[in-house]
């Protein structure tokens, strides 16, 4: 293998630039030529490639977002789009690909390998931390710290005015962000997709705060009731509780990555290059503890990554 490509796809995550830097420099140290794909799978179809050398990856380790940009390519999820991408890849002499992203990215990578047999490995870049096969994903640590800082600020207002605040965090299918920041910020109730939200219990916990009712409630966006706005509406309708709601949204994706995310991204970037050189393909490069592990791409979405039961128990005890 003499030439590889690196791309970022789907939602951006803090630490992607650290990953690009590490993977490209690891490849250069092995004598490989490295190109970056601009715009994820859309760039792969269009053949939008740039050289990645030491100069191009200097001073990006602390930057949020991704210098390679990203997209959600509908064309790549069609066989014709993947065939066009394979043609561009072969024309450029690319012999292996590192795709950093979430489950949508891995669906595309898996199909690309099955149809075109161009070696490709995935690295977990998503703030949701919802991929089976790795304890943590690139961007997750930064996202929970960003959310916690915002919630601490909201708590100041909740305390000053004696109000109930419902804060919605990201996580369409997984409650990892909500659970961690809920415990870290002293939430009285944490609503996540993995559990049933009991509004009567939520109401009882608001009452326990006394007349001031200063309360922080954390809601994952995938909660079965439909998020913070809907829960605010329901407790007003059923319990006559006025609650302010805040949706943190994409603020959780941006900003300079934490040290933990920079180190994880760097470790996985180097390991991805080594995996390609060792003949690995159609796998996600993850880390469990301090060990690098390889998980078949299909398993990363077909096997559910469960919330640790002790975290649920802990949140109940502390509430």
> How many DSSP H helices and E strands does the chain contain?
11, 11
Query: Nearest CA to 182 among 36, 52, 315, 65?
Result: 315
The pLDDT, as a whole number, for residue 209 is 76
Who wins on pLDDT, 215 or 213?
215
- 219-264: per-residue pLDDT in tens? 999 889 888 999 999 999 998 988 899 999 999 999 999 999 999 9
Tell whether the model's pLDDT for residue 308 goes beyond 90.
Answer: no
Report which secondary-structure segment, H or E, holds 222: none
Max mean pLDDT among 33-42, 67-76, 303-312 falls in 33-42
**Cα–Cα distance, 210 to 79 (Å, whole number):** 60
**Structural domain spans, the chain:** 3-139+257-302, 140-253
Mean pLDDT of the chain: 94
Cβ 284 vs Cβ 121: under 8 Å: yes
What three-state secondary structure class fits 80?
helix
Two tokens at 293? Answer: 């592990």
Tell whether the model's pLDDT for residue 162 goes beyond 90.
Answer: no
The pLDDT, as a whole number, for residue 318 is 85
3-139+257-302: in CATH 3.20.20.140: no
Same fold, 3-139+257-302 and 140-253: yes
pTM beyond 0.85: the answer is: yes
Tell whether the model's pLDDT for residue 90 goes beyond 90.
Answer: yes
The pLDDT, as a whole number, for residue 100 is 98
**Cα–Cα distance, 221 to 218 (Å, whole number):** 10
Two tokens at 304? Answer: 């559910």
Q: How many CA atoms lie within 13 A of 285 on its CB side?
A: 29
Write out the E strands in the chain.
3-8, 33-37, 49-51, 96-101, 120-124, 164-169, 189-191, 215-220, 243-247, 283-288, 291-296
**Cα–Cα distance, 129 to 141 (Å, whole number):** 9
Q: How far is CA 206 from CA 27, 148, 163, 251, 305, in A?
A: 55, 21, 10, 27, 31
Tell whether the model's pLDDT for residue 107 goes beyond 80.
Answer: yes
Sign of CA dihedral 107, 108, 113, 119: negative
Two tokens at 232? Answer: 């605010």
Instruction: Give, in words, the CATH class of 140-253.
Output: alpha beta
Q: What is the DSSP string of 33-60?
A: EEEEETTHHHHHHHT-EEE--TTTTTT-
What is the end-to-end Cα distance of the chain in Å, rounded? 55
Express as a percent the part of the chain with pLDDT over 90. 80
The pLDDT, as a whole number, for residue 206 is 85
Q: What are phi and psi of 104, to 5 degrees?
A: -65, -40
List active site positions.
128
Cβ 160 vs Cβ 168: under 8 Å: no
């Amino acid at each position: 293998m003499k030439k590889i490509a690196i791309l970022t796809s789907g939602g951006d995550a803090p630490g992607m630039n650290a990953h690009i830097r590490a993977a490209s420099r690891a490849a250069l140290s092995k004598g490989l030529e490295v190109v970056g794909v601009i715009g994820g799978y859309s760039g792969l179809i269009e053949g939008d490639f740039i050289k990645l050398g030491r100069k191009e990856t200097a001073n990006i380790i602390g930057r949020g977002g991704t210098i390679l940009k990203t997209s959600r390519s509908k064309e790549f999820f069609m066989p014709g789009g993947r065939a066009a991408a394979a043609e561009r890849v072969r024309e450029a002499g690319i012999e292996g690909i590192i795709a950093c992203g979430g489950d949508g990215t891995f669906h595309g990578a898996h199909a690309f390998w099955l149809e075109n047999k161009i070696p490709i490995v995935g690295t977990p870049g998503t703030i949701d931390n919802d991929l089976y096969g790795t304890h943590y994903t690139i961007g997750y640590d930064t996202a929970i710290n960003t959310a916690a800082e915002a919630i601490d600020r909201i708590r100041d207002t909740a305390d000053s005015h004696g109000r109930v605040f419902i804060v919605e965090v990201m996580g369409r299918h997984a409650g990892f962000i909500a659970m961690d920041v809920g415990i870290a910020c002293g939430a009285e109730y944490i609503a996540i997709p993995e559990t049933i939200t009991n509004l009567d219990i939520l109401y009882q916990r608001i009452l326990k705060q006394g007349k001031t009712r200063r309360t922080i409630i954390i809601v994952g966006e995938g909660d079965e009731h439909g998020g913070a706005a809907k829960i605010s509406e329901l407790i007003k309708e059923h319990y006559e509780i006025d609650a302010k709601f805040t949706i943190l949204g994409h603020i959780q994706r941006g900003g300079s990555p934490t040290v933990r995310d920079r180190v994880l991204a760097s470790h996985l970037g180097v390991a991805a290059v080594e995996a390609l050189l060792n003949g690995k393909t159609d796998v996600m490069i993850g880390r469990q503890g301090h060990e690098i592990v390889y998980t078949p791409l299909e398993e990363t979405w077909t096997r559910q990554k469960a919330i640790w039961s002790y975290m649920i128990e802990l949140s109940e005890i502390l509430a």
